[in-house]
Structure 1
Amino acid sequence: MPTPFVTLSDFSALLRDLPGPDAGSIATARARDATLTKPPGALGRLEEVAAWYCGWRGDARARVCAPQVVVFAGNHGVVAQGVSAFPSEVTAQMVANFEAGGAAVNQLAGVAGARLDVRALDLDRPTGDIATGPAMSEAGCVAALTAGWEAVDPGADLFVAGEMGIGNTTSAAAIALAIHGGTAADWVGRGTGLDDAGLAHKAQVVARAVAANPARGGLAVLAALGGRELAAMAGAIARARSQRIPVLLDGFICTAAAACLEAEVPGALDHALAAHVSAEPGHARLLDRLGKAPLLSLGLRLGEGSGAVLGIGVVQSALACHSGMASFSEAGISGAPGPEA
């Protein structure tokens, strides 16, 4: 089946016509929560997570049974500017590690019971050097969006987009600067392990990239400053919305890709929660701009989708309690205690 877009304008129009949550399921889920054998609000944010998820799935007693993780990989021309502690060859080497089951995300996906797929995107052909010009043409960005769109399993019931791409924290910082302003130093971090001099140089490269690519609009910024794996993540997140599949956002790079959707069409990320806040300093700032409070804060800075995969367990737990707990009447307990009980 062909994808429903062939231009960035088509994709923008698609974002404006995606489904929303089912209000009736949310209301029923909240009403059920009020009857469960616990004081009101005793499960804290888990209660809201459960209602959010039920709304998107259209099921007031939903459970997470088929989570999917897709790790997208791409190479970046900006690596030529010396912004990473590792060479581009590491991207392909890590893809092989994912495929062999040897990476952290493989282990975490196994614990969560999640399907894990890997999509490598033209690793032998890096994107353009954003310090001097655009990363991708419109056609190239559409191709990457399409790869992400097609990677989502319509049978999944929770989706995580991960990434691998040497140099992609530079791309993410440039996107954040272009969309939300400030200075390059506000958004850059050490990535794969830069020292102080490397960090200062990276900030200069990010500032040059935004100056060299005065794009406006979320999708235009994605094409100019992103990478193929970032565009693929954006395409996958949009496809998940089209299928009413809730999404857990990973770290700084995934969130920067998602931020392009929100900048293009406000509300495009209503089906997404921030699974965690990473150690990259720009990530907390970007989540704040997006109004996304993270579920976890563990000091992670690995990427791969690792933090979001950990978040799967939080959502699974929220739904297990919501859908599996007995009500006061079912348990034969008289009266519902108040929050101080």
Structure 2
Amino acid sequence: MGHPTRTVRPVRLRLRSKSRPFEEHLHPRDGRGRFAHGPGAGLNPLLERIRAAAGRPSRAPRSEPHFDEEQHGLVFRDGQSERVAKAYKANVVEGITRDLRDMPDETLLLESDRVWLDKVRSGEAHAYEDHATGIANSVRPGDSPADASWTRVDADRVRELLRRDAVNQVVATWAMTSNDEDPGALALQETARDAFGLHPAADWPSTDQIARETAGQRAALGTGHAAILTAMWERTQNHLAEAQLGSLTVWRGVATPDGRPPAGWTADGSTLSDPLLRPLSAFSLDPDVAHGFATDEGPGFVMSAIVPAERVIATPATGLGCLDESEVVILAGPGTWHWQTAE
């Protein structure tokens, strides 16, 4: 018995020409390699670890904690001189840049930097390195550099300097301010909040102009900032694990008109429950530093807790933070805190 004849319809493929390579990092996949959609879908294992870590609660000590010299020495093991602080930051920037060596330029660099890098590659522009600042400067072919000490560098060196500067900008932004009205700092906070799932977290006052500038910063740098913060968290965890520290006792000074926690916070005696923190919140391992911040503009209060090491995203030795203030940066999350008025 013969088979009926079937008409095979021709298949027409419509192809779109693309002017740039496919950006895999912008299209996360699930565990089976399929494109994933929805909150948290397709997260890489490291990002999943950070999100889980942010949910680990802090714990209020039973009594007022005291300065732990041994813990302080393990976290800040090289002292607090200006020379050491500069060495810390240089090592941080170099280390994170190295950790991100496989990250494409499209993720880490501004479009304007990538355009200039292409011009250096093609010979349309020349580049000179200022060794005092570690910055590459553009010079038109035939012109002399502005400083005779600058040296001509090739495109590979320019790329290295641009990528290092992208990391340095994140560290330098935090050194100036962690939020206030700075669009760069606010963009970093928003990136951490959304990338690491830090909800709920404290909000901050803003204006339409600041909101627009912050959105512009996120559009240009958000993916790169998320990668930098992720690498920073991993370096911090390795640092604390080597020191065999499973938790840190931290303090933060808060200036208030009456020396008490804000009205919206839940306080039961000397215990605070789940106070809203900034996505990236600065604390100190030194209670005297926190007390100084609390009383800088009048009465305030100091909050303290034992925080799981996994909630610590940075120390001055691994990322953000001021060495002279014994600063550590923690991720917003749940838990209880001890508080007392600082006068």
Whether these two folds match at TM > 0.5 is no
Structure whose residues are more often strand by fraction = 2
TM-score by length of 2: 0.27
Query: Of Structure 1 and Structure 2, which has the larger fraction of its residues in helix?
Result: 1
Kindly name which structure, 1 or 2, has the bigger radius of gyration based on alpha carbons. 2
For normalisation by structure 1, the TM-score amounts to 0.27
